[in-house]
């Protein structure tokens, strides 16, 4: 038999009195008249169980001595069928075996001796029901917490399908993160990723960056066996590095940083500091916030906000800048032209020692090759050349596109002398400068490596 649902927290508590003596029941009923309880009476254990099978009961107080089924046996049965019901034994005998049986088998909360003191009995009932109310409230809050946690997990899995109003959902997620902070104190990384997905909804899909940066940072941490704390801080920094941009206009959010006007450029340079300020109030985010603050510093000291130089820049910030720039270059958020992955890595390599830590760049390229299937630059047989450096017989390692995105040549194309001349002419006509990824013939490659 399943236990009946307990009385809701707003209902009047139901108290069931069980005694085979009608005079006792009448006395108890008179005592409880005017109390905030719904009182039910039963003259036997069997009748009491029939009543409980039909409706939820909050508290049962039964006489110890009754024919057929004594109070201890009744309370043991109630404990088995309705464990949340509060159980009190009423005894007029110094019968320790009965009391012990009721405690052991019925797990009673209290027992009261006959004749009872009216005030003490009323106090006992109030305390027992107050404890029960408190316990049910605790269970309700725990269930609510579990449901909210499940909602967060579900939101993380199906976020894009549930977003209708960007601003409302951002606020909702912020509120949910505040409410769920205690639950997420051992898993704040998950919480920051949920929020980063919502923050990305300010951008069209082609401009979203956070998920790719998080995954790239995780690959780096795994390949380098970084400790849990460092990996957690880097992942959280990757998830929320651009939270300070949320107050920007939509047009500024999608504009290449290189094309921003003076006022917007100043606002752009303030976003790492604003991101850090938003996160510093959360104690678990303090180390990640410091990485975010300095992720736009440059190796040569020309970055912002503090113009840190070289190793004065935190190592995590140097790594985060590599990951952020690699993805944002491909999204057109730094330069007007969107690069492919190899072009972005060539850009990073060209600025090693200026924008980026030169000791990290080549290692980062290898990590990108492990993360992405379309990175050719990590292959030692693939070289990046200008149109005047390529020669007949070389093979394109990846598609060559004009600056306007038009496909010029497919990967795998063997270059001829005539084709090279056409590329030089087209480049001059367009006023562009192509980076051509070529796979060298073995003999030529050996000569270049030896040189």
Q: Residue 324: which of 211, 213, 239, 232 has the closest Cα?
A: 213
Rounded distance, CA 357 to CA 444, Å?
A: 31
Rounded distance, CA 173 to CA 382, Å?
A: 46
Burial letters for 5-37: b for 16+ Cβ neighbours within 10 Å, e otherwise? ebbeeeeebbbbbbbbeeebbebbeebbeeeeb
All residues at 6 or more sequence positions from 201 whose CB lies less than 8 Å from its CB, including other chains: 163, 166, 169, 170
pTM score? 0.51
Q: Is 437 helix (H, G, I), strand (E, B) or coil?
A: strand
Please give the pLDDT value at position 152.
80
Residue in the block written with tokens 């606002």: 267
What domains are there in the chain, each with its CATH number?
14-140 (3.40.50.2300), 158-375 (1.10.3210.10), 379-451 (3.90.105)
Please give the pLDDT value at position 1.
47
Rounded distance, CA 264 to CA 254, Å?
A: 12
Neighbours of 440 (CB within 10 A): 22
Residues β-bridged to residue 364: none
Neighbours of 226 (CB within 10 A): 18
Q: How far apart are the first and last CA of the chain?
A: 87
Q: 425: burial class by Cβ within 10 Å (0-12, 13-18, 19+)?
A: exposed
Please give the pLDDT value at position 377.
66
Using CA of residue 273, residue 275, residue 280, residue 283, what is the dihedral sign? negative
Residue in the block written with tokens 């912020």: 174
Please give the pLDDT value at position 159.
57
φ, ψ of residue 426 to 5 degrees: the values are: -65, -40
Burial letters for 395-416: b for 16+ Cβ neighbours within 10 Å, e otherwise? bbbbbbbeeeeeebbeeeeebe
Rounded distance, CA 318 to CA 106, Å?
A: 66
Angle at 368 between CA 366 and CA 372, to 5 degrees: 125
Please give the pLDDT value at position 383.
82
Angle at 304 between CA 244 and CA 352, to 5 degrees: 115
Please give the pLDDT value at position 12.
86
Residue pair 39/62 in contact by the 8 Å Cβ criterion: no
Mean pLDDT, each 10-residue run in order, the chain (451 residues): 49 91 92 92 94 94 89 88 90 64 64 85 88 88 87 71 58 63 56 72 85 92 91 92 89 91 91 91 88 97 96 97 96 91 92 96 90 69 83 84 73 85 84 80 47 43
Q: Where are the beta strands (DSSP E) in 59-124?
A: 59-63, 86-91, 110-113
Q: Is 9 helix (H, G, I), strand (E, B) or coil?
A: coil
At 333, list the tokens. Answer: 């958020």
Please give the pLDDT value at position 419.
86
Helices (H), 280-380: 286-293, 315-331, 341-350, 358-371
Please give the pLDDT value at position 233.
92
Q: Is 420 helix (H, G, I), strand (E, B) or coil?
A: helix
Please give the pLDDT value at position 262.
86
Secondary structure element (H or E) that encloses residue 436, with its range: strand 436-439
């Amino acid at each position: 038999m399943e236990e009946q649902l307990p009385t809701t927290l707003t209902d009047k508590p139901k108290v069931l009195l069980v005694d085979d003596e009608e005079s006792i029941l009448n006395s108890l009923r008179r005592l409880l008249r005017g109390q905030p309880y719904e009182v039910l009476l039963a003259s036997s254990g069997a009748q009491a169980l029939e009543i409980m099978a039909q409706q939820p009961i909050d508290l049962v107080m039964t006489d110890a001595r009754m024919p057929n089924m004594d109070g201890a046996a009744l309370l043991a049965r109630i404990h088995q069928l309705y464990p949340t019901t509060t159980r009190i034994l009423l005894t007029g005998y110094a019968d320790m075996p009965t009391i012990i049986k009721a405690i052991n088998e019925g797990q009673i909360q209290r027992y009261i001796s006959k004749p009872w003191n009216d005030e003490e009995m009323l106090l006992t009932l109030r305390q027992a029901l107050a404890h029960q109310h408190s316990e049910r409230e605790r269970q309700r809050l725990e269930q609510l917490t579990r449901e909210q946690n499940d909602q967060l997990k579900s939101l993380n899995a199906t976020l894009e399908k549930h977003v209708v109003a960007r601003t409302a959902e951002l606020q909702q997620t912020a509120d949910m993160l505040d409410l769920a902070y205690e639950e997420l104190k051992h898993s704040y990384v998950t919480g920051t990723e949920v929020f980063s997905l919502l923050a990305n909804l300010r951008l069209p899909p082609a401009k979203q960056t956070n998920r790719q940066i998080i995954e790239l940072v995780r690959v780096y941490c795994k390949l380098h066996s970084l400790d849990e704390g460092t990996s957690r801080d880097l992942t959280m920094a990757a998830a929320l590095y651009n939270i300070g941009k949320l107050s920007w206009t939509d047009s500024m959010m999608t504009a290449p940083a290189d094309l921003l006007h003076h006022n917007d450029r100043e606002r752009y340079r303030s976003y790492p500091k604003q991101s850090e300020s938003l996160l510093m109030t959360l104690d678990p985010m303090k180390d990640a916030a410091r990485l975010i603050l300095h992720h736009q510093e440059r190796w040569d000291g020309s970055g912002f906000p503090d113009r840190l130089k070289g190793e004065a820049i935190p190592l995590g910030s140097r790594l985060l800048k590599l990951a952020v720039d690699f993805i944002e270059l491909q999204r057109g958020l730094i330069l007007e032209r969107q690069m492919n992955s190899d072009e972005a890595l060539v850009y990073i390599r060209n600025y090693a020692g200026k924008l980026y830590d030169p000791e990290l760049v080549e290692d980062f390229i290898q990590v990108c090759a492990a993360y992405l299937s379309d990175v050719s630059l990590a292959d030692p047989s693939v070289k990046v050349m200008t149109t005047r450096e390529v020669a007949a017989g070389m093979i394109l390692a990846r598609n060559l596109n004009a600056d306007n995105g038009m496909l010029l040549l497919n990967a795998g194309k063997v270059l001829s002398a005539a084709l090279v001349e056409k590329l030089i002419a087209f480049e001059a006509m367009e006023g562009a400068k192509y980076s051509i990824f070529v796979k060298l013939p073995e003999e030529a490659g050996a000569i270049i490596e030896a040189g």
